[in-house]
Amino acid sequence: MNDDVMHRLDLVGMKYICDMPYFLELPTSFIKATDFKVFFRLKPKKRKVHKDNLEKSIGMEYIVYSPATLRYWYVVINEYTNMRKIYRYFKDGNLYITKEARAPVDRESILY
C-alpha cells in the first residue's frame, strides 16, 4: 500500500500479523456501515437496482471488528470475497466503511 492511500484513509497506525493488516482503534476515516448495498455496484449497461444487475464493488476498502481479538481488520473486496460472510459481519454491527463509500442520501424521501 502506498503512502498516499495510507494518509488519505488515515491508516498510519496499521499493524500486521502474517501480512494481515489490523488496527487497535478504528481509524477516523471509517464509519459504521448502515446500508449493505454500498458493497455492490451496477453491472455495465444496467440501470435498475436488482439482484441480477449488481456486482461486487471490487477494490472497496472496509474494516471488520473482531470482538474475539479486539482488533479492527482492514480488508479490500476482491473477486474471491465471500459476500455472505461480509453480510454476517454487517448484521452483527461489526462492519465499517470509508466515509466516502457511504450511500448517497435520497433527498426526495426525506420528510421535513
pLDDT, tens digit, 9 for 90 and up, residues 33-53: 998 888 988 888 877 777 777
82 occurs within a structural domain: yes
* Comparison of pLDDT for 111 and 65, the residue scoring more: 65
112 occurs within a structural domain: no
Q: Mean pLDDT in the chain? A: 81
**Full domain range(s) for residue 32:** 3-101
CA distances from 94 to 52, 70, 86, 91, 108 (A): 27, 11, 9, 8, 30
Predicted confidence band of residue 85 (pLDDT cuts 50, 70, 90): very high
107 occurs within a structural domain: no
106 occurs within a structural domain: no
29 occurs within a structural domain: yes
- Structural domain count of the chain: 1
Q: What is the pLDDT of residue 73?
A: 94
